[in-house]
Amino acid sequence: MEMRSVQTGENPVIRLNIDGNLSLRGWEKLEISAKCSKPEDLTLEVNDDVIRVTCQSDCSLRVPYGVLIEESTINGDAVFKSVEGDISIAMVNGNLSLRSVGQVKIDTVNGNLAAKNLDGSLRLEKCLGNVSIRDIQGDLHVGDSISGNLSLKEIDGSAQVYARGNISAELDPSPESNYELQTKENITCRLLPDASVTVSILRGSKIAVNFPEIDIPTQIEAPYELKLGDGDAKLTLSASGKVSLAGRPADWDFGEFEVGEDFDLMTETLNEQITSQIEAQLGVMEEELQQQLEMLSFSLEKTALSTEQAERIAERAREASERASRRAQEKIKRSQEKMQRKLESARLRAERKARAAERAARDRRRRPAPVEPPRPSARISEPVSDEERLMILQLLEQGKVTPEEAEQLLAALEGRGG
């Protein structure tokens, strides 16, 4: 296995021309390391601040975390992982996998595309295969089209997509975001129950909308508009086939709780636990980094390097450690923000449930009791006591029985003496 290396700065610029498969991963070293099976297939050219990597066969690359990737072509499959700098790809003739990377721009993918945990936007001109995208911190834009099917989940920014295959989307729309999903086949879209979004269905051969808490017509024809919550975001759906829109359960289940002091106490407790975990993780990380730096200093003292060379290596190690610590803090912060959003969603759902129960109980109290003709009875039934009625209303307000079940309980109590 041939390996070649080039020393770099913190944010080197590289251009890739790979005729085989590519595996590229970021690391803490300020160095580009390339491996391939045949020495004659691999070339690393340094021209000013740009490093060009050319390989006639499969290639494995390790690059600094902050690398900038420009004007790259891969004729096989490609995997990019743990890269913080911008990535620009002209063409991938096989499948492309993106994992834990920054902002990405792609002209053409002739295979399938899988992208997860992007700390930035994704711009794709066209893909001839299927596309799966999950957890993007920025926007998603498809300039031309996706020939296969598309799966979307957790897009924090806006999205503009055209696909020729089916679209499956699970979204938690951010305020003021705009989602435009268009396809020649079918669309299945699921939203959190507390989503604040205005949905416009422009086209669909058959439209099905299911939100239990909202009165939905049984027969729906396009164009159709639905407002959930305050309608802060916009979602536009257009399909030549069927359109299915429904709610989906929250990712985290906090169980049953009352809005008020219990929920505030739970939120405070979770926040304390999160803060404690963050401090513990960062503390362990700092100890490990400090130990590594001390071991490095001890090792450098035993080498034949000059003082200046040893100090330069130690300084690079310290900078790499600081970058790793910053990345970890940013990831933990994003996790904490996501937890806060889930807590707020849970609180809103609980409030809506309480209001719905209150309205149902109020309507029940206002509704006149049905007048039934007297029925002969061997005994006169005992009237329902105020305590019994209050108990049933409390069950209704707590959501433990439905209005219909409450009526049945009252009716059963009314007829207990018969």
74-78, 116-120, 132-136, 280-284: range with highest mean pLDDT: 74-78
Distance (Å, whole) CA 116 – CA 132: 8
pLDDT tier for residue 255 given thresholds of 50, 70 and 90:
very low
* Angstrom distance (rounded) from CA 142 to CA 122: 8
Q: Does pLDDT of 411 surpass 50?
A: yes
Q: Is the pLDDT of residue 121 over 90?
A: yes
Question: pLDDT averaged over the chain?
Answer: 79
User: What integer is the mean pLDDT of 154-181?
Assistant: 92
pLDDT greater than 70 at residue 337: no
In this structure, the strands spanning 96-101 and 113-118 are parallel
Looking at residue 39, its pLDDT comes to 83
Interatomic CA distance for residues 218 and 367, integer angstroms: 26
Q: Which of 149, 148, 170 is nearest to 159 (CA)?
A: 170
Check: CB of residue 83 under 8 Å from CB of residue 69.
yes
| Contact assessment for residue 168 and residue 152, using Cβ atoms and an 8 Å cutoff | yes
For residue 417, pLDDT beyond 60: no
Q: What is the pLDDT at residue 238? A: 96
91 SS3 class: strand
The whole-angstrom separation of Cα 113 and Cα 109 is 7
pTM of the model: 0.64
Map residue 20 onto helix, strand or coil: coil
| pLDDT score, position 259 | 45
- Weakest-pLDDT range from 26-40, 333-347, 375-389: 375-389
Give the pLDDT score at 418: 43
Nearest residue to 216 (alpha-carbon basis) of 228, 231, 230, 204 = 228
pLDDT of residue 110: 97
Name the percent of the chain lying above pLDDT 90. 43
